[in-house]
């Protein structure tokens, strides 16, 4: 059996997927755990007032991270299409420059909006451009299906952001210095990622993994001639933005519309939804390069949906079994939400499938179809607003809208293919 046949063998493909998903999951989990752990010492050492500003600025930091998420997806897609490293790094630098300008202009307005010091706000927004440079390196690894290296970079980025900030807090530093230290750590993570990619340059420049190898060749000259511009990243960014909005809008509306007690109960249930959504994130990351390959586009979507639904069924069942334990674990005040934990998990699972379909729109460079998701967002706001003002009403409205949006997005995803 020759190398190409061996790579195409089902057992080999399965092992590649499991190994890649495991590496990305491990790296992502380490980064997420580090991010959550940052809040523990910060809340203890900064006190309520200082921690309030710190948490608000970390939330603002998420906004300047959206372009980096879109950039990674675009870089991975264009690498599959045969665009060379130099062109993709040039794109990364241009996006980073644009984000730097926007972040600089946003410092004073964000400072006034959040009532935080200008220097601390600047430190919070400073990582935005560097995150774009880091995302470029991650996109090169993702597009080439070098998932072990990507997992290492993800873990390094998480540690780079958190460890310096915790060290500064431990030394008695305030909000601004801690955020500035985190920015320096992100820059260090980018340098590490660049060295990891450089060490694998020969492999990466030989093209993406076996799933996309059929694409590189006759179409390479066309891909290079049509290297992506900043506008493609902006188009992908609005897809990432609507996905972030869909995962949080129900919780924000619940806080605004429900009584304080019910809003707190909904927030606890939303933890199950978030867990069900974030747990299988590696699936989309690993299968995304194949979504960008016309030869394997539909198969990649089917594989992603199948794996996500399989994991989702397990998560929903686990939530149903754990639900009765909620009052004993967190108090009897939360008993009304115990029987709904499985439904919250189902909401998170459906959102994870919707995200896979939205990733497919980026992979096919048909991001205009994200209008389906934006329509779903508007419909969710309306449905929740007119739903009964209790936990069941808000949850039911959100779940129905997300299911409908996911079905429509899935129908469009299977009809679309990457341009050859």
**Domain limits at 240?**
234-415
Q: Is the pLDDT of residue 136 over 90?
A: yes
Q: Are 164 and 181 in contact (CB under 8 A)?
A: yes
Alpha helices in 216-340 (DSSP H): 220-225, 230-246, 249-257, 260-278, 281-291, 297-322, 326-330, 335-338
Q: Which residues contact 333 (CB under 8 A, 6 or more apart)?
A: 261, 264, 265
Q: Is the pLDDT of residue 220 over 50?
A: no
- Mark whether 238 and 90 lie in a shared domain: no
Q: Other CB atoms closer than 10 Å to residue 75's CB: what's the count?
A: 29
Q: Which of 197, 227, 257 is the last residue of a domain?
A: 227
Q: For position 379, what pLDDT does the model report? A: 95
Q: Which of 179, 198, 227 is the last residue of a domain?
A: 227
- Mark whether 342 and 257 lie in a shared domain: yes
In tens, the pLDDT along 331-390 reads: 777 788 888 889 999 999 999 999 999 988 888 888 777 889 999 999 999 999 999 988
Q: Which of 209, 227, 245 is the last residue of a domain?
A: 227
Q: Which helix (H) or strand (E) holds 49?
A: helix 10-80
To 5 degrees, how large is the angle CA 349–CA 354–CA 360?
A: 135
For residue 12, what pLDDT band results from cuts at 50, 70 and 90? low
- Mark whether 253 and 122 lie in a shared domain: no
- Under DSSP, the state recorded for 333 is G
Q: Is the pLDDT of residue 217 over 50?
A: no
User: Sign of dihedral through CA atoms 172, 176, 179, 181?
Assistant: negative
To 5 degrees, how large is the angle CA 106–CA 253–CA 259?
A: 125
- Mark whether 105 and 211 lie in a shared domain: yes
Q: Is residue 158 part of a domain?
A: yes
In tens, the pLDDT along 250-285 reads: 888 887 888 888 887 888 788 788 888 888 888 888
Q: For position 382, what pLDDT does the model report? A: 94
**Whole-number Å distance between alpha carbons of 54 and 39:** 9
- Mark whether 32 and 136 lie in a shared domain: yes
- Mark whether 251 and 201 lie in a shared domain: no
Q: Are 398 and 391 in contact (CB under 8 A)?
A: no
For the chain, give the mean pLDDT.
83
- Mark whether 220 and 357 lie in a shared domain: no
Structure-model confidence comparison of residues 84 and 41, the more confident one: 84
- Mark whether 219 and 241 lie in a shared domain: no
Q: Is residue 293 part of a domain?
A: yes
> How many separate domains does the chain show?
2
- Mark whether 283 and 326 lie in a shared domain: yes
Q: For position 419, what pLDDT does the model report? A: 54
**Whole-number Å distance between alpha carbons of 282 and 331:** 33
Q: For position 212, what pLDDT does the model report? A: 46
């Amino acid at each position: 059996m020759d190398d190409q046949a061996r790579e195409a063998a089902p057992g080999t493909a399965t092992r590649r997927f499991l190994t890649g998903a495991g590496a990305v999951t491990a790296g992502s989990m380490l980064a997420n755990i580090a991010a959550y752990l940052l809040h523990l010492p910060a809340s203890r050492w900064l006190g309520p007032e200082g921690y309030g500003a710190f948490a608000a600025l970390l939330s603002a930091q998420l906004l300047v991270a959206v372009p980096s998420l879109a950039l990674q997806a675009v870089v991975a897609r264009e690498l599959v299409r045969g665009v060379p490293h130099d062109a993709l790094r040039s794109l990364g630098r241009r996006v980073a420059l644009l984000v730097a300008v926007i972040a600089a202009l946003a410092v004073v307005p964000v400072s006034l909006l959040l009532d935080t010091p200008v220097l601390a706000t600047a430190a919070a927004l400073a990582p935005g451009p560097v995150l774009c440079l880091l995302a470029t390196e991650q996109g090169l690894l993702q597009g080439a299906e070098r998932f072990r290296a990507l997992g290492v970079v993800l873990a390094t980025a998480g540690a780079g952001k958190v460890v310096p900030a915790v060290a500064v807090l431990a030394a008695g530093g305030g909000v601004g210095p801690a955020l500035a230290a985190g920015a320096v750590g992100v820059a260090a993570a980018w340098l590490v990622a660049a060295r990891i990619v450089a060490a694998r340059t020969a492999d990466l420049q030989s093209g993406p993994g076996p799933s996309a190898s059929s694409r590189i060749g006759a179409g390479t000259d066309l891909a290079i001639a049509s290297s992506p511009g900043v506008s493609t990243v902006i188009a992908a960014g609005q897809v990432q933005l609507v996905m972030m909005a869909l995962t949080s809008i129900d919780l924000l509306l619940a806080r605004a519309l429900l009584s304080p007690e019910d809003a707190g109960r909904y927030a606890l249930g939303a933890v199950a939804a978030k867990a069900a959504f974030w747990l299988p994130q590696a699936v989309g990351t690993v299968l995304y390069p194949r979504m960008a390959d016309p030869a394997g586009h539909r198969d990649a979507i089917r594989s992603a949906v199948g794996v996500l639904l399989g994991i989702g069924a397990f998560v929903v069942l686990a939530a149903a079994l754990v639900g009765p334990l909620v009052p004993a674990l967190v108090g009897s005040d939360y008993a009304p939400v115990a029987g709904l934990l499985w439904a919250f998990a189902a909401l998170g699972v459906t959102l994870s499938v919707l995200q896979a379909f939205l990733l497919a729109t980026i992979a096919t460079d048909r991001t205009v179809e994200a209008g389906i998701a934006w329509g779903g967002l508007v419909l969710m706001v309306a449905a929740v607003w007119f739903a009964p003002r209790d936990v069941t009403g808000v949850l039911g409205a959100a779940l129905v809208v997300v299911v409908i949006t996911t079905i429509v997005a899935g129908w469009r995803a299977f009809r679309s293919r990457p341009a050859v």
